[in-house]
Structure 1
Amino acid sequence: MTKTLLFLSVLISGFTFAQDDLLKDIDTIQTKNTDTSQPAFKALQIVTGQSTKLPAKKEWYIIVAHRFGDVSKGFKDFFGLDDASTKLGVIYGATEWLSLNLSRETNQKTFEGGVKYRLARQNDNFPVDLVGYNVLAVNTELSKDNYPHIRFADRLSYLSQALISRRFNDNFSLQLTPSYIHKNLYEPAIEDKDQFLAGLGGRYKISKRVSINAEYFVNFDSHSFYKNPLSVGMDIETGGHVFQLLFTNSQINSDIGYLTNATGKWKKGQIFFGFNLYRVF
């Protein structure tokens, strides 16, 4: 475990160089904490799940998300460092209220395209931020050797979410995330074609540039083989970057895979270390 901690320290220090302060909008002290210029979250994701934050108009984000293997396997797999899944993505702020994203993950070789749109802002007259999020995913790993009659439509999955957050004060924010997922191809013995989830996530700022985040999703699929995703993390603003360190029981980075294919058990130490790195242009 000592080698893992050493790796973390080196990883963090590699990104701590000064550039523009991306998070000045949430670090500026205001007389009213309901000021709409201050988002509830500093990053576009709480941990792996989406937050109500959107890019500014004409902003481009490059995202690198990495999840190592199961830390409970110990030194044999170097505490998970030998087994990793990576997602690369781009996000574009089309308007002040609309963003578009495209990503590809190594696990299941999944491509995802998404749209995120603000419906309402928290202010003195409205208690929450309300954002919609929709995703179309394509699983390109499915082969005709295993599925001889597979069609392109069978590779598709869909996600719809309502992101409802409230910034209670300068330090604390909370979000509810009701979600619906539909899979065209699924295994009836271990999951449902249509799945409904309810998520709860939050952020607590412990210093000007650091916050502790957590999120948990309950999947109401009664006979699902998979576990409910539970993740905890830390947001670090390093100047020019938003860097997130995290531990989770779901190794998959894609939105749909994360929510419906978690395999780890926290009680048994079956967790995955990872990070999200954002670069804005």
Structure 2
Amino acid sequence: MTKTLLFLSVFSTVFASAQEDLLKDIDTIKTNTETSQPTFKALQIVTGQSTKLSAKKEWYIVVAHRFGDISTGFKDFFGLDNASTKLGVIYGITDAVSVSLSRETHMKTFEGAVKYRLVKQNENFPVDIVGYHVMGLNTALNKDTYPYLTFNDRLSYLTQALISRRFSEQFSLQLTPSFVHKNLYEPATEDKNQFLAGIGGRYKISKRVSVNAEYFVNFDDHSFYKNPLSLGVDIETGGHVFQLLFTNSQINSDIGYLTNATGRWGKGQIFFGFNLYRVF
């Protein structure tokens, strides 16, 4: 297990450095119209949302991939044989409001979201505050399993306050109080309403590379699921941000990631993956 993590960590670091060297002369696309530097360069810290928003009339195409459990070893080629994929689009209505739509293979889940800035960090205010709301639609549920299933049972909801501060050019930190409501849930393993508190941060190690981390505590005391913990590397290139990551949740959707993580870091039950954002 230790050798596996060491190999993947070294691979990610070398890949990030190589990308920076190869692309240092082509990063000429300016995608942020603000005069000050953003707290985060990517729309996600790792899997959780950051306070960055798309600019007005910007389109983002999102491709996110989570491979299987690396602790299975060569049997599943360290998880590469099993993957969950999310495809999505994001559009900036204004510089302060964006909307998104995505679909993930896990439970064939669609999510629609709105993200909006309430306050921006400046010399008179110490933090960014952004609101984020999600409605999820689980299309994999069927009446063979749930005979009395209705459309409303397929829905779940997430509300978050994203509160971040850029302490320096290198370091940013974010707090993320969150609330999840599920219309259909398993009482033996989770609650209908769940409150979570998250913390995440970014440390810039070079012009185009940063290391990121995030952790969410779920206050659902009897939940079968684990608190999501994720580590990542951001690589900025011309027109997009590429994120390599390790996490204990294979699920890409916002709601599933927060409430249905199953891996244990201490047992090596970790999922390798990436997020790719391409801006137009």
Question: Structures share a fold, TM > 0.5?
Answer: yes
Aligned counterparts of 1:11 and 1:140: Cα–Cα separation in 2: 37
Question: How far off its partner does 1:276 sit?
Answer: 0.2
- Contact 2:31/2:55, CA 8 A, preserved across alignment: no
Q: Partner residue of 2:41?
A: 42
Q: Partner residue of 2:106?
A: 107
| CA RMSD after TM alignment | 2.3
Q: Partner residue of 2:88?
A: 89
The 4+ residue runs of structure 1 with deviation greater than 3 A are 1-26
- Residue identity matched to 2:160: Q
Q: Partner residue of 2:54?
A: 55
Could you tell me which runs of 5 or more consecutive residues in structure 2 were left unpaired when the two chains were aligned.
none
- Residue identity matched to 1:124: E
Matched position secondary structure for 1:80: coil
- Residue identity matched to 1:131: V
Deviations 1:67-87 (A, max 9, x none): 000000000000000000000
Question: How far off its partner does 1:142 sit?
Answer: 0.4
- Contact 1:117/1:131, CA 8 A, preserved across alignment: yes
Aligned counterparts of 2:45 and 2:7: Cα–Cα separation in 1: 27
Aligned counterparts of 1:115 and 1:140: Cα–Cα separation in 2: 21
Aligned counterparts of 1:4 and 1:175: Cα–Cα separation in 2: 27
What's the TM-score, normalizing by structure 2?
0.92
- Contact 1:36/1:121, CA 8 A, preserved across alignment: no
Question: How far off its partner does 1:114 sit?
Answer: 0.1
Which segment is superposed worse, 193-202 or 1-10? 1-10
- Contact 2:85/2:104, CA 8 A, preserved across alignment: yes
Question: How far off its partner does 1:239 sit?
Answer: 1.6
- Residue identity matched to 1:42: K
What's the TM-score, normalizing by structure 1?
0.91
Q: Partner residue of 1:162?
A: 161
Aligned counterparts of 1:250 and 1:196: Cα–Cα separation in 2: 18
Percent identity between matched residues is: 75
- Contact 1:200/1:215, CA 8 A, preserved across alignment: yes
Question: How far off its partner does 1:240 sit?
Answer: 1.8
Matched position secondary structure for 1:195: strand
Could you tell me which runs of 5 or more consecutive residues in structure 1 were left unpaired when the two chains were aligned.
27-34
Aligned counterparts of 1:14 and 1:83: Cα–Cα separation in 2: 26
Question: How far off its partner does 1:21 sit?
Answer: 3.8
Aligned counterparts of 1:197 and 1:86: Cα–Cα separation in 2: 25
Matched position secondary structure for 1:55: coil
